[in-house]
Amino acid sequence: MSDGGVSPSTATRGGSGISRAAASTSSIDLSKRDLTLDLARVFCVLLVVVIHLLMVGIGIGPDGAIEVSRPLEAQWWFAPVTWIGQIMPLFFVVGGFASLTAWRSLTRRGGTAAGYVRSRVLRLAQPALPLFLFYVVVIGGARMLGVDPELVRLAVVGAASPLWFLAAYTLCQALVPLMASWHARAPRATLLVLLAGAVTVDALRYSTGIDEIGLANLFFVWLLVQQLGFWYADGWFAARRRWTLVLIAVAAYAALVPLTQWGPYSDDMLTNLNPPTLPLVALALAQACILCLLRPALARLMNTHAARAVVFLVGSRLMTIYLWHLPVILLVSGLALLVPGASPAPASPAWWWSRPLMFAIVLAAVFGLSFIVGRWEAPREVGPVPPTPVVAVATVLAFIPPFAVMEFFMDLPIAILGSVLLGAAVLLLGRWGTPGPGSAHSRSGTVSS
């Protein structure tokens, strides 16, 4: 993520509201990196780890048998808590801010859309490649060893479930140049068109009962949420009075009541995640307002060395933590079964009290793993930016594996196919010809995060 500067001409084209927002610097300095958004990104991923630790119950029951359950989802208060705990919309808002500021920074340096997409897709495809190879080895090895196929299927399906994010985020990142152009010309109209598309898709999905129609909202819902991040980058939220932000957040949350009580949507916001639905947009708007309200306090926190150290330590390994935490949770839980007294019955008081220790152990394990797979987080672009058609093909290749996991769940064929497609995408994007000294293409192909 680079600076968040907004050119006067862009602000003017965006309309008078955005012009005033961009001109206001009393709440947020758009010329500097906003460390509060780095903190928000870290918070989102760590909260995902916590939620999954509470959802995966593997332990020894009273009868001495292994128990596997989902303790968090069994709680009566689970659905209401998801109205707060479902923070993936906030991640896409923050991603929208980072994307727009990075795109504007790149274009000021003479970069191209192909260069932007190349760098961003590499940042997603490269970390995913070793994970898909890992599943090839694990699933294939389990088959050769004669491990119960159903046990393997349950473990792999659960561990690979977060991969949906790569499909949605790859799509959003690939379209940033286009969406940034629309945002500059007609920011309000862009929001309205995306909102109308999301409503239409949901209406068709629930009226026909064909859930697959909802897949179109990978485009409309997540791009709409990303656009809110564009508005955040332009200073629209910062230009609002605090009481206005509070009212918008309250109204957004209040909108969830009729949507879930009288509308077709579940009151469990995790259920509304895949395919994405309209309630996620309401959550995104509320969370963007809350983030802006909390920004002064978060900025003070980020002025401390301790907070910056934690954000840097976790932030530099964010994709590794997100992609690998569930396999690590399952592995640690399995090893704990071998230690007497280390695996209390899921949902028992002892199990709940063991979660903080498990959180520390899992993070330590992922941190150690990051020294092996973490090197795949940073793009290793070699050569000038490939031609636009090559970047487009590579982007599609990178999108297919996580989308297949989202739709059909992880298995050996998908793991093998995903490894091949992701490997091809990385090669296409990372190596193209021989860069000349001081090549302008080479310079424009790199985008800071």
- Answer whether residue 28 is part of any domain: no
Instruction: Report the number of distinct structural domains present in the chain.
Output: 1
- Answer whether residue 1 is part of any domain: no
Count helices and strands in the chain by DSSP H and E runs: 20, 2
Alpha-carbon distances of 260 from 79, 152, 155, 198, 221, rounded to whole Å: 11, 35, 31, 16, 17
Query: Which of the four pLDDT bands, split at 50, 70 and 90, describes residue 15?
Result: very low
Assess contact for 289 and 237: CB atoms under 8 A: yes
DSSP 266: -
- Answer whether residue 25 is part of any domain: no
The confidence score (pLDDT) of residue 23 equals: 38
Average pLDDT over residues 170-186: 97
The confidence score (pLDDT) of residue 66 equals: 77
- Answer whether residue 368 is part of any domain: yes
Structure tokens at 162: 């977060």
- Answer whether residue 412 is part of any domain: yes
Domain that holds residue 135: 8-18+34-444
Alpha-carbon distances of 249 from 17, 63, 132, 141, 285, rounded to whole Å: 19, 48, 39, 49, 7
- Answer whether residue 237 is part of any domain: yes
Span of 93-102, 128-137, 263-272, 437-446 with lowest mean pLDDT: 437-446
Q: Is the peptide bond before 340 cis (omega within 30 degrees of 0)?
A: no
| Span 88-107, pLDDT tens digits | 999 999 999 999 999 999 99
The confidence score (pLDDT) of residue 374 equals: 80
> How many other CB atoms are found less than 10 A from the CB of residue 419?
20
Q: Which residue has the higher pLDDT, 191 or 67?
A: 191
Q: Compute the mean pLDDT over every residue in the chain, rounded to the nearest whole number.
A: 87
- Answer whether residue 230 is part of any domain: yes
**pLDDT tops 50 at residue 388:** yes
- Answer whether residue 392 is part of any domain: yes
Assess contact for 282 and 255: CB atoms under 8 A: yes
**pLDDT tops 90 at residue 343:** no
| Span 198-218, pLDDT tens digits | 999 999 999 999 999 999 999
